[in-house]
Amino acid sequence: MTDNYCERPTSLLLAGILLLIVAAGCRNEAAAPDHRSELRSIKLATTTSTDNSGLLAELLPPFQAMYGIEVQVIAVGTGRAIKHGENGDVDVILVHARAAEDRFVESGFGVNRRDVMHNDFVVLGPAEDPARIKGSADVAQALRKLAATESFFVSRGDDSGTHKKEMALWEAAGVPPEGDWYLPAGQGMGAVLTIANEKRAYALTDRGTYQAYRDKLALEVLVEGDRRLYNPYGVIAVNPARHSDARYIDAMTFIGWITSPEGQAIIRGFKRGGEVLFTPDAVLDGGAGAD
Amino acid sequence: MGGADFIADSVTTAFGLIFGGAPGVFSAVLVSLQVSVTAAFLCTVIGVPLGFAVAVSNFRGRHLLITLLNTLMALPTVVVGLFVYAFITRQSLLGPLDLLFTRKAMIVGEVILGLPIIIALTNTAISALDRQVRDTAITLGAGRLRVSLTMLWEGRFGLLAAIAATFGRLIGEVGIAMMLGGNIAAHTRNITTALALETSKGEFSVAMALGIVLLTVALGVNFALRYLQGRGEVRP
Amino acid sequence: MSGPVVEITGLTRLFGKETVLDLPWLSFQAGRIHVLVGGNGSGKTTLLRIIAGLDQPSTGTLELFGHPVAAQSRSERLAVQRRMTMCFQKPYLFNASVYRNIEYGLLSRRLTAAERSRRVTAGVEALNLSTLLTRNARTLSAGESQRVSLARALVLDPELVLLDEPIANVDQVNKGLVERAIGALGARGSTVIVATHQLDQAYRLSAGVTRLDRGHLAPPALDNLLEGEVVQRDGTTVMLVGDTEIEVITSKPGFARATVNPGVIVLSHLPLTSSAKNSFCGKVIALRERDGLVAVTVDIGIELVVHITGSSLRQMEITIGSKVHLTFKATAVTVF
């Protein structure tokens, strides 16, 4: 019935190749190992802005080299990162939303929260600055001006750390962010900046992401330095009492490392576009070598 | 920059990625292939017999079932991802299997996405067969299995189209890969999630280039499928 | 085997409210060629499909090879299925070479590759298909497809063959070929049931013709069916039917069937002198009224039926036992 089908060597070869690809997926080849127990690894949920800053690409390889633990990074919005922590889908979370972090620990989802670093948020806007907020030391007042002039503002709108900070600032300003000028994009920081750039609008961003995108943007830093723009990062281990499968020891090793003098030194030394992005918070004084 | 510049830039970047062999791109291609080819294979093995059964059967709710299948083809991938997530998250039924954020989970999600497609299209292909295929096979003394295989063979063009359509849907989807894979570099980052990442970073040319890479890969697999199916056969 | 191959009792088939078949009783003897004659809608295709097992009757029983089919298990039915086969009016050929098509049925029988090859070759020769062997079967013309379909069935050497309009689409050149192949099947001992709408074709194939009219058995089409050898005698063509010689007009010698229309035979008390060459004397053995005419059956060595009016019957005072003469022209005889 199947004319010469089986006699064609090329057909068999192609079938063989397809099968090999499928088989390779089942074993642990070319791509990194898939099954957890084959290599010590932990899963870290963090935010897209943290991942996009490039810090983790500097921070994780030395950790893996020293401890033999691979850190698999799942970069999502803050809300979702915390959710994965609550559900026990990951072993440790690194986010920047203090109120949510505290709730996370209080509810028993996480243990051993430690400060890691901070960066700050800045308000970006077009050079022509129609709302005239440039150089303002009071971010709340700057936001009031934006609302009053109905200048376009692009928001994360995704319950992320950045978004939560933004909401807190609108509340401090006493102005509801509503109207045709307010644009919640529901996407990551990079996408939001691209939109703001396109529309010549204002936006709130962490300095790290700004540095990463600087050459693509025609926007400038207009407001910075207000202590309410301070953006602290916390790392929390998922509670092993809650999720017995959580790799608690390895997660603690990771936490220990990024808050150690070595880890902190890497953070301090991380630069983008010639500027330091993060200020380490864990080791307050100079620290005397590794322990 | 204008549209033409953007495309030109993307194509150049694509060639650079493909031939320059950026390691991230290579591993993303491999993950895409491993996940989608495996999922398409499973869909075929499970879905073609089911689609065949629907085509030759004659039970009461048959039309309702077909309507249902056609509706399921419109499932958004993120919905499928969420659905599977609910079953494999740590505290759920299948949590202890440690499936979340693995390629296996991506395959499961893609199989769920693809099954309605392959079943519905197989049903169409077999139903479109001349009624006489079955009659002829029976009167020539074929037993049940041979009759079924003969019908599948006679319907092979439609079946190939069904498999190709399913594979195309699977390799191009991003909602399931993102939700269930987590876009973990070197593990579950495939072409589409890498594409999404680059887009979210504003790296549009790189994203477009990845799109071109994806299409090239998909083209390659489709050529392989077509070749396996056979050349020079006259279409009915 | 002895006994009928197919026996049908009280069989009806309804499609919705429409009665497509209503056959109180019908049987087909083994080893012979039977023909079902009827136009479109006569039910002959439905009947063949029911016998072939592709359709189920609404009521009634079907017995094949002496066993009722309704009670059989799946494996028994499959075994019966493999003792017979069917060729359809518009055959479906598989999307593969002609060779593979012909071989298909053999794959379900336990045969060696050599035996399969031998049979396929024989079938191909019988139906003049050797130039088409490697062609994809779906590219063939209607007539060629019909012959491949027949070859497909022939190679199975089945005990029972059902053919639905096997010659309808075949080109003139190959018509004779196909008729001979069907004859060969009968000669081999297979039971053949052929459905056709052409009466002359039916009688070329067999004397056993059953007529179907809208699902019902209809009375036979012919009163005077003659079978015999056609030979040349001193410049005239003569058909030998038993001991009787009938002058006919035909160019084909050999075995043939023919008929004489009862309405054109002239009945007389005395022999007629005329241009009509067929003149016989015999005795009236039966009289029957039919549709305002009288059918007079006369034994002249063979039995012939003549139609005359009632008044003629009375005028001529014909009764059973009357000695009469029958006269008809050579051209009045239709040779199939």
CB C123 within 8 A of CB C151: yes
| Structure tokens that stand for A34 in this block | 């898939």
Nearest CB among A5, A72, A194 relative to B184 is that of: A72
H or E segment at B16? Answer: helix B3-20
**Averaged pLDDT, A211-227:** 87
Give the per-residue pLDDT at A26: 56
Query: Strand C225-233 to strand A275-276: parallel, antiparallel, or no bridges (unpaired)?
Result: unpaired
**Separation between Cα atoms, residue C143 and residue C148, nearest integer Å:** 9
Are the Cβ atoms of A1 and C104 closer than 8 angstroms? yes
**Residue A2: per-residue pLDDT:** 42
d(CA B180, CA C285): 96
CB pairs under 8 A between A and B: 103
Q: Distance between CA atoms of B31 and C196, rounded to whole angstroms?
A: 63
pLDDT at A287: 44
| H or E element that contains C334 | strand C333-335
Are A3 and C100 an interchain contact pair (Cβ–Cβ within 8 Å)? Answer: yes
In a domain, B30, yes or no: yes
Q: What's the CA gap between C53 and C324, in Å, rounded?
A: 52
Amino acid (one-letter) located at B93: L
Whether residue A3 and residue C96 make contact (CB cut-off 8 A), yes or no, is yes
- Could you tell me if B62 lies within 8 Å of chain C, comparing CB atoms? no
Q: What distance in Å separates the CA atoms of residue C333 and residue C261, rounded to the nearest whole number?
A: 7
DSSP notation for C279-329 = EEEEEEEEEEEETTEEEEEEESSSEEEEEEEHHHHHHHT--TT-EEEEEE-
What number is the ipTM of this complex?
0.80
Chain B: give the shortest CA distance to residue A149, in Å. Answer: 28
Give the distance from residue C91's alpha carbon to the nearest chain A alpha carbon, in angstroms.
Answer: 18
The reply to whether B132 touches chain C by the CB within 8 Å rule is: yes
Residues of chain A found within 8 Å of residue B37, distances taken between Cβ atoms = 18, 21-22, 25
**C108/B146 touch (CB, cutoff 8 Å), yes or no:** yes
DSSP state string for A4-48: TTTT-HHHHHHHHHHHHHHHHHHTT-SSPP-SGGGS-EEEEEEEH
Q: How many domains does chain B have?
A: 1
CA dihedral C277→C282→C288→C291, nearest 10 degrees, is 10
Measured between CA atoms, the residue of chain B closest to residue C163 is B139
pLDDT at A1: 40
Nearest CA in chain B to A46: B182
Nearest neighbour of C54 by CB, restricted to B138, B150, B234: B138
Q: Please judge whether A22 and B41 are an interchain contact, meaning their C-beta atoms are less than 8 angstroms apart.
A: yes
How much is the average pLDDT of A156-162? 81
Is the CB of A112 inside 8 Å of chain B's CB atoms?
Answer: no
pLDDT at A33: 47
Residue C79, CA atoms < 13 Å, CB-side half-sphere: 8
b/e code B29-59 from CB counts within 10 Å (16+ = b): bbbbbbbbbbbbbbbbeebbeebbebbeeee
Residue C118: pLDDT band by 50, 70, 90 thresholds? very high
Angle in degrees, 0-180, between the axes of helices C142-154 and C113-126, rounded to the nearest 10: 140
**Chain A residue with the nearest C-alpha to that of C107:** A1
Residues 136-155 of B with CB under 8 A from A: 149-150, 153
Give the model's pLDDT for residue B25: 85
- Lowest mean pLDDT, pick from A51-55, B225-229, C33-37, C79-83: B225-229
Query: What stretch(es) of chain A map to CATH 3.40.190.10?
Result: 36-119+230-287, 121-229
C56 three-class SS:
coil
Each residue's pLDDT tens digit, B169-224: 999 999 999 999 988 888 889 999 999 988 877 677 888 888 988 998 889 888 88
Task: With a cut of 70, say whether residue B80 has pLDDT above it.
Answer: yes
Exposure string of C175-211, with b = 16+ CB inside 10 Å and e = fewer, is eebbbebbbebbeeebbbbbbbeebebbbbbbeebbb
Nearest beta carbon to residue C94 from set B141, B143, B154: B154
Q: Which residues contact A103 (CB under 8 A, 6 or more apart)?
A: none
Q: Is residue B206 part of a domain?
A: yes
The gap from C-alpha B6 to its chain's centroid, in whole angstroms, comes to: 29
User: What is the spatial distance between Cα C41 and Cα C212, in angstroms, rounded to a whole number?
Assistant: 9
Distance from CA of C198 to the nearest CA of B (A): 25
CB B141 to CB C152 under 8 A? no
Residue B1 within any structural domain of the chain: no
pLDDT average, residue stretch C13-30? 91
Mean predicted confidence (pLDDT) in A115-133: 92
- What's the start-to-end Cα distance of chain B, in Å? 49
CB burial of C246-265 (b: ≥16 within 10 Å; e: otherwise) equals bbbeeeeeeebbbbbbbeeb
Burial class for B202, CB neighbours closer than 10 Å (0-12, 13-18, 19+):
buried
Reported confidence tier of residue B127, pLDDT bands at 50, 70, 90: very high
Domain A36-119+230-287: CATH superfamily, name plus number: Periplasmic binding protein-like II (3.40.190.10)
> pLDDT > 90: what percent of chain A?
51
Using CA atoms in the order C274, C280, C284, C285, what is the torsion angle rounded to 10 degrees? Answer: -150
DSSP label of A217? -
In chain B, the residue whose alpha carbon lies closest to the alpha carbon of C86 is B139
Smallest Cβ–Cβ distance between B234 and the set C82, C91, C139 belongs to C139
Give the neighbours of chain B: at least 3 Cβ pairs within 8 Å: A, C
Contacting residues for B70 by C-beta, under 8 A, at least 6 apart: B116, B120
User: Would the CA dihedral through B54, B57, B62, B63 be positive or negative?
Assistant: positive
Residue among B37, B41, B91 minimizing CB distance to A87 = B91
As a whole number of angstroms, the distance between CA A14 and CA A75 comes to: 37
Neighbours of A42 (CB within 10 A): 23
Kindly list the distances between the CA atom of residue B219 and the CA atoms of B21, B43, B223, in Å, as whole numbers in the listed order.
19, 19, 6
Fold of A121-229: D-Maltodextrin-Binding Protein; domain 2 (3.40.190)
> In the structure, what pLDDT confidence band is assigned to residue C36 with cuts at 50, 70 and 90?
very high
pTM for this one?
Answer: 0.77
Please report which confidence band the pLDDT of residue A25 belongs to, taking 50, 70 and 90 as the band edges.
Answer: low
What is the pLDDT, as a whole number, of residue B152? Answer: 93
Most B-contacting residue of A10, A13, A18 (CB-CB within 10 A), to test interface: A18
Query: Which pLDDT does position A106 carry in this prediction?
Result: 96
Report strand pairing: C244-247 vs C236-241.
antiparallel
Please give the average per-residue pLDDT across A257-277, as a whole number: 89
Q: Which long-range contacts (CB under 8 A, 24 or more apart) does C168-175 make?
A: C168/C89, C168/C196, C169/C90, C169/C142, C169/C143, C169/C145, C170/C143, C170/C146, C171/C141, C171/C143, C174/C127, C174/C128, C174/C143, C174/C147
Give residue B27's pLDDT band: very low, low, confident or very high (50, 70, 90). confident
CA-nearest of B10, B6, B3, B4 to B215 is B10
Which of A159-163, C23-27, C57-61, C104-108 shows the lowest mean pLDDT across its residues? Answer: A159-163
Pick the range with the lowest mean pLDDT from A115-124, B56-65, B88-97.
B88-97
Measure the CA–CA gap between A270 and A278, rounded to whole angstroms: 7
Cβ separation B201–A190 shorter than 8 A: yes
The stretch B129-146 carries a mean pLDDT of: 92
Q: Hey, is C167 helix, strand or coil?
A: coil
Query: Which residue of chain C comes nearest to B137, CA vs CA?
Result: C105
A276 confidence band (pLDDT: 50, 70, 90): confident
What structural domains and CATH numbers belong to chain C? 4-218 (3.40.50.300), 225-335 (2.40.50.100)
> Which residue from B33, B149, B187 is facing A72, i.e. has the nearest CB?
B187
Select from A24, A32, A193 the Cβ nearest to the Cβ of B187.
A32
Chains touching chain A through at least 3 C-beta pairs below 8 angstroms are B, C
Phi/psi of residue C71, each to 5°?
Answer: -90, 0
The answer to whether residue C126 scores a pLDDT higher than 70 is yes
Q: What is the mean pLDDT of chain B?
A: 88
Nearest chain A Cα to B39, which residue? A22
pLDDT at residue B2, as a whole number: 60
Q: What does the DSSP 8-state code read for residue A245?
A: T
| A271-272 and A182-184 beta bridge pairing | unpaired
- The nearest alpha carbon in chain A to B187 belongs to A32
Report the pLDDT value the prediction gives residue B236, as an integer from 0 to 100. 42
- What integer pLDDT is reported at residue B138 of this predicted model? 94
Question: Is the pLDDT assigned to residue A272 strictly greater than 70?
Answer: yes
For residue B133, the domain's CATH number is 1.10.3720.10
Mean pLDDT across C29-39: 90
Per-residue model confidence (pLDDT) at position B150: 94
Q: Which domain holds residue B92?
A: 25-230
Average pLDDT over residues B124-145: 92
B193: contact with A, CB 8 A cutoff: no
Task: Give the mean pLDDT of C101-105.
Answer: 93
Query: Is the per-residue pLDDT at B20 higher than 90?
Result: no
C92 and B133 within 8 Å at the Cβ level: the answer is yes
Lowest mean per-residue pLDDT among A277-286, C50-59, C195-204: A277-286
CA–CA gap between residue C257 and residue C229 (Å, rounded)? 9
Report residue A74 as tokens: 């799942």
Which residue is closest to C108 within chain B, CA to CA? B142
Query: Is residue B113 within 8 Å of residue B77, measured between CB atoms?
Result: yes
Cβ–Cβ < 8 Å for A29, A58:
no
